[in-house]
Structure formats: C-alpha cells, structure tokens
Copies of this chain bind each other. A is one copy, B any other.
Amino acid sequence: MKKIQSEDDLIKFIKRKSCSPKSPYGIGDDAALLKAAPNCVITTDFLVEGVDFKKGEDPKGIGRKVLGMNLSDLAAMGAEPGQALLYAAFPKKNSISSWRRFLKGWNELAKKYKVSLIGGDLSQADRWMIGAVCIGTVKKGKLFTRSKARNGDLLFVTGKLGGSILRKHLNFEPRVRESLFLRENFPVSSCIDLSDGLGLDLPRLLQSSRKGARIQLDQIPISQDAKRLSDKAGKSLIERAFQDGEDFELLFTLSPQYEKKLMQRWRKRFNTPLTMIGDITAKRKIECFIKNQKRSFPQTLWKGFDHFQ
C-alpha cells in the first residue's frame, strides 16, 4: 500500500506500467504529438473546486483559466491553437446562468486565439471538476520540447513570477503569441510552461535535457503581487517566485548568439517582459548566484506546487 509521494512519481509509475511511447509522441512534455498526424499536438488540464479554486468563485474566471492553462501548454510546444474539447462534472442544482458566465470566460480566450469547441463530456458530481483538451498545430522541425537544452544555452523567462493567487491565476494571458513569434524567428532549444512554479518546472526541463543550470537569483523577475504577499507572510520574495505556481509563463533556452537579436525584436513586439535568468551547464545540478557570487540555497527552494504533497 505504497503512498503516492508526488505527481511526478505517479506519472513515472503510470508511464512505466502503460508502455507509453517516447516523448514527443508520449508522456514527458507539455503536450504530445499525434502519431497519425505529426503536425498536431494534444494536451489536457482540469480544475477541481476546493482544490484549484474556491467554491463560489465566479465561473467566468474558471472558464478563462480552464482554456488558458491548456493554451499555455500548447505555447510551451510552439503550437498554434486549433480545437478544444470541454469536460465537466458539476452539481445537478447548477443553473444555466453559471454556464453562461463560464462560457463568457472561455470565449474571451477562444475568440482571441481562434479555438473551436468540438465536443466533450458532461456529468454530475457534488462539486465542480472541469477541464479542457486542446489540439494545436506545429511546424516540422519547429516543435519545442523539454529535452533539447544544450550546454551554454541561455535560460529565458517571460513575464514576472510569484503571487499569482492574488489575481493572475484567473486572468493570466497564455503566451501563445510569444511562442509563435519564437517559433518563427529563433531556434528555441527547449521550452516548458511554468504551471507549478520555477522550483518544480526548471528541474523538470533540466532532467528531460539531462543538464544542469546556473541561475542568477537577482535576475529573477518578481511580480508586484509576490511583493504584496511577501509583505504579509513569512515567505521570501525568491521563495514566492520559485514556489507559488500558476505563473503560466514560458521558460525556454536559446543559444547565446541570438540573445541580442531576441531582446531587440522582443521589445519592439511585446509588452510582456522577457528576462535572461541563467545558463545551461553539463553538470547535472542547479547552482545559484547573486551578483555573480555563488550562494547556497536550501533544497526546499526546489519545489513548487504539487497536488500530492
């Protein structure tokens, strides 16, 4: 009766027992390639009332988030959104007006990113559980995965991290446009979306690529909301940036020769911040620096949001 230690452990167990094919056609990236249609990737993510959002939350925010988190997974693969399925279990006594609000939030992103709803499944339960499946298209040779970071590549992150529970977790902008811009213009070597926090998602990317990294802690972009929260609670700003989760930003690697060009073109095109936070190394560990001085940090920094811890 071995207990489940973490989400990643359970995923490994399922992968082993189910003979999943190798990534990118199997488990191990933010989305998986279809074998019968290698121009398509597919992903699913869902939310549970009482775990991922509070009872009584405005369904509009939930609708936006359910689609947004799946679009964020597509962005992590360099995929253009196309179609979606919607599945939901919810209390019988629910009214059409909750669904109207839900679809209002969903449609905000569906219209912006041209996502058609093509099917799904509905059932009842004593609390809401609601998810989406998204299918996106990728270009040959331009698929982003977690596994191809190279020594010397620079690590970039979009947006600002931490404190998402205050607002951003319900109204974040999935980095679809940023991802498509990168795909068209730069040979991104690896990418992941920050759904569980830099503290969990950076190690996931490095593990997939069998690499390590040097992280410049003073370069980590920290959100205003992380600062607001840190003022009240005992957590440091850097802990918030690493552990809060639900940033839905992109973390990606790129050869240093493109740094200047990337920064110039990005600033002209997007308001979304883009920050270089470190580089990839051959030693399979993460080293931290502040103003180029090596610092040791508690291992507890290297965790984020895990549903089973």
Contacts and interface: CB of A to CB of B under 8 A. Distances in A.
Secondary structure of the A side of the interface? Answer: mixed
Determine how many copies of this chain the complex contains. Answer: 2
A32 interface: yes
A103 interface: yes
B46 A121 contact: yes
Contacts of A17: 99-100, 103, 107
A103 B12 CA distance: 13
Contact of A36 (B94, B121, B135): B135
A259 interface: no
A24 to B, nearest CB: 9
Interface in A27-50: 27, 29, 31-37, 39-40, 42-48, 50
Given A44-B121, A119-B27, A34 B99 contact: no
B46 A83 contact: no
Contacts of A31: 119
Contact of A20 (B10, B33, B117): B117
Nearest to A92: B308
A168 B41 CA distance: 34
Contact of A34 (B33, B37, B93): B37
Given A3-B96, A131-B87, A119 B43 contact: yes
A18 interface: yes
B20 A118 contact: yes
Interface residues on chain A, size class: 35 or more
Interface string A102-139: 01001100100000111111111111010101010100
B7 A122 contact: yes
29 contacts: A3-B95, A3-B96, A10-B96, A14-B103, A17-B99, A17-B103, A18-B107, A18-B110, A19-B117, A21-B118, A25-B116, A25-B118, A33-B118, A34-B82, A34-B135, A36-B82, A42-B85, A42-B133, A44-B120, A48-B124, A48-B125, A50-B126, A51-B123, A92-B307, A122-B307, A124-B308, A125-B127, A129-B129, A133-B133
Given A35-B116, A36-B82, A52-B123, 12 more contacts: A2-B95, A2-B97, A4-B95, A14-B99, A25-B116, A27-B120, A31-B119, A32-B83, A42-B85, A44-B87, A121-B131, A125-B127
